Structure 1
Amino acid sequence: MKKRTLHRLAAPAALLTASALLLTACSANSTAGTGTDGSGTSTSTGSSTAGPSAGSPQPRLAVSYTGGIAVLDGTTLDTLAEFSTEEFTRVNAAGDGRHVFVTTSEGFQLLDAGTWTAGGTSETAEPELTDLVVEAEAAGHVVRHGGKTVLYADGTSDTTIFETADLLTADGELPEAEVVGAPDAHHGVSVVLEDGTMLTTIGDSEGRSGIRVLDADRAEVAVSDQCPGVHGEGTAADEAVVFGCEDGALLYHDGEIVKLTAPDAYGRMGNAYVSETSPLVVGDYKNDPDAEGYLLSKVALIDTEAQTLEVVELPDGVEYTFRDVARGPDGEALILATDGSLHVLDPATGEITESFPVIDPWEGPAEWQDAHPALTVNDGTAYVTDPPTDSVHAVDIATGEVTATGTLTAPPVELAVAAG
């Protein structure tokens, strides 16, 4: 285990080691204001200055598109700011209600959405794309759980662990972080539990095979290599953690790793959609290794208490990609399907209980990075992107009513919520 306090990059690049985790300055041209007219460009260096107080948290939405990111008001979906970025970026909530990590070729860049709550008071300010970057070779997954925000660098398999609360007050520099290395670099993911236990994937340049469990002192206490192609994780109620495999899933709970075998010889689960108040996990599922494209028509249902995995076929016309599943405020699963509807699925039975038309029918992407409809949830609101119309919709999960629509300057790709 090693600790580092992250600072701005001051030493010459030749003095830096491959595993060093440093803060690097990265220019960001922002278009700030209440609209999208392009007025008021600036380059920011840290978190924004507090503005007027609000009576309750004011969510904001970060939406990526080719070459940029827009920050929208989470209620009205008015555009508050736009920032120029690399051609393709990914966005992940930092977990503190205020910041979003933007994945770039340099690492994880911190976007201040300009909304937060501290000491019971909610504040808002102008959004800023800061120049604070956690350097990472092939920046990958961001996981939030148990008061920790965990970043994974695929190029080195270093895991960077922040106290989530410390990110809220980041002003000009990032807080201290723990950095945990790995034997071999691979496309992986890590999660840290409330007692400090760390679960992390095993792999190398040839493939991925399972998970390791490290105690709070980072000594290995459990391991499993029974998860070919391990990908994605999710933490359900009572800190039951699920990792997807090409033949089912691994379940970790109370110090024990259990293999949940898929009903098909090839039964890949690559993403776990969880509610931390429910023992039920919904996973994407693919049972044809030769199938082309990214659309899926089945889901895996995992009961972490009963330690079971079941596969459910969705109704005709209900297909989705990895961007189109989320969990609602009552633990229900939400699927934004190719028929244009938002479907509510009971994770206990696999039955669709309600369907709400939201956008026009759509086809799957040629490449996973391509803009296609995406879904994320904050409290009782589902945010749905509609790339053909350059728009984002806010949907009341209880009624299916579209409560707001925002129009962007380009097709939206990914979205993340800063809850305020």
Structure 2
Amino acid sequence: MIVSFSLREQFVRHRKVSSAAALVAATLALTACASDSDEATTPAAETSAAAAVQEPVAITYDGGIYVLDGEALKVAHDVTLPGFNRINPAGNDTGVFVSTESGFQVLDATAGKMTDISYPGAKPGHVVLHGDRTVLFTDGTGEVHSFDPKKLTDGKPEGRTYKTAQPHHGVAVELADGTMVVTLGTDESRPGAIALDKDGKEIARSEECPGVHGEAVAQGEVVGLGCKDGVLLFKNGAFVKVKSAGAYGAVATQVGTEQSPVLLGDYKVDPDAEREFPEQFALIDTAAQKLQVVPMPKGVSYSFRSMARGPQGEGLILGTDGKLHVVDPATGKLTASWPVVGAWKEPMDWQEPRPALFVRGDDAYVTEPATKKVHRLDLTTGKVAGSVTLDAVPNEISGTMSEH
């Protein structure tokens, strides 16, 4: 399974300040749909005295990061960290990577403390977990770092490094045999990707993926890269293009699983939109090399923080109707729609809070910025199992993840 957690159109290191009225308007005065669940409230931060946390869930807010106990949904740590910070699983059972103004830095989520393990560089971007590797891509330098995340508990691990010809908003993934797939690009354009063998020798190249962005890995270690006109696959040692139906059918955010040859992706159709609110999604069958476009329920959209895969490989999409929609990847049918939060609207600024989804095992964690709540949904029942109200508005959500 592959997990990539830094998906966006542009990397800006300082979030714009917005008024309370703007936040309310952007989220349409959401109300929680978890009245039958247990709810906790945020205790005062006592980071220094708090015990180690099991199954940590990390949530950013303007000025810091909350660490919750994933089962009890209580705030165990409150880590002060100025600026707009992004978070991604580090790939082990204790750490979370924080993207700051100066680069990637590891947060020990169980202890609630920032460590001295860092990968400096401007515009830290995608963090990709696959197999026994975590791969970091730094947009501002083009540097790629690949390493075994289990070794992070012993300090900064030795690993593989690579530098792209030109810095760009890119991504890289390393496969089990040491093959590394890396995007090609500059500040002006991103045309495709290359594949390198374990010794760093180029073995394949394709420049048939305009605007390459977002990646996932399907069953059999088939890599999918999003393009403005479909998806570029890397399979059996070569690149294969799967085109969208029209001249413009853009895929960016994707999620995959080793349980299925089908990738779940977003799908946008308006090249002129300042911010498109897609009402359809893509299923990319990497075995048949076909792309299917599936409509969302009428009037329902989603954001780049809305997609995940469930424990059985099912697709999960958090819709603007406040429901978590379950997708059968083989047929494209919506098999369930579970209420979690109130109806919401995606803000124009990608850094602004909106309901976000993080899935680990049988649990789906969903933020609700309008009510300052976080909910835990049991994916085996479709019921909200617990909620917590925070002191600050939640933004991004992530957590530890040792299996990927």
- TM-score, with length taken from structure 1: 0.83
Of 80, 91, 94, which residue of structure 1 is paired with 2:90?
94
Structure 2 unaligned regions, length at least 5: 1-40
Question: What corresponds to 1:345 in structure 2?
Answer: 327
Identity %: 46
- CA shift, 1:370, in A, is 0.5
CA distance in 2, matches of 1:400, 1:51: 29
CA distance in 1, matches of 2:316, 2:47: 38
Q: What amino acid maps onto 1:136 in structure 2?
A: G
CA distance in 2, matches of 1:41, 1:397: 34
Of 132, 150, 157, which residue of structure 1 is paired with 2:135?
150
- CA shift, 1:294, in A, is 4.6
Q: What is the correspondence of 1:239-250 to structure 2 with a 5 Å cutoff?
A: 239-250=221-232
Of 378, 383, 394, which residue of structure 2 is paired with 1:401?
383
- CA shift, 1:233, in A, is 0.7
Of 35, 44, 47, which residue of structure 2 is paired with 1:37?
44
CA distance in 2, matches of 1:51, 1:316: 45
CA distance in 2, matches of 1:232, 1:405: 31
- CA shift, 1:293, in A, is 2.6
- Provide the alpha-carbon RMSD of the alignment: 1.8
Question: What corresponds to 1:190 in structure 2?
Answer: 172
Distance 1:294 1:372, change over 3 A: farther
> Any conservation in 2 of the 1:86–1:104 contact (CA below 8 Å)?
no
DSSP-derived class of the 1:217 partner: coil
Q: What amino acid maps onto 2:80 in structure 1?
A: S
Q: How many residues are aligned here?
A: 362
DSSP-derived class of the 1:231 partner: coil
Q: What is the correspondence of 1:80-229 to structure 2 with a 5 Å cutoff?
A: 80-114=76-110, 126-167=111-152, 169-170=153-154, 173-229=155-211
Q: What is the correspondence of 1:369-380 to structure 2 with a 5 Å cutoff?
A: 369-380=351-362
CA distance in 2, matches of 1:381, 1:284: 22
> Any conservation in 2 of the 1:294–1:368 contact (CA below 8 Å)?
no
126-135 or 258-267, which moves further after superposition?
Answer: 126-135
CA distance in 2, matches of 1:39, 1:74: 18
Q: Which structure has the larger Rg over C-alpha atoms?
A: 1
Q: What amino acid maps onto 1:84 in structure 2?
A: T
Question: What corresponds to 1:384 in structure 2?
Answer: 366
CA distance in 1, matches of 2:109, 2:137: 22
CA distance in 2, matches of 1:228, 1:64: 32
DSSP-derived class of the 1:165 partner: helix
DSSP-derived class of the 2:185 partner: strand
CA distance in 1, matches of 2:315, 2:47: 41
- TM-score, with length taken from structure 2: 0.86
- CA shift, 1:317, in A, is 2.7
CA distance in 2, matches of 1:163, 1:292: 39
DSSP-derived class of the 1:339 partner: coil
Distance 1:35 1:352, change over 3 A: closer
- CA shift, 1:146, in A, is 2.0
- CA shift, 1:177, in A, is 2.6
CA distance in 2, matches of 1:313, 1:213: 33
CA distance in 1, matches of 2:319, 2:205: 37
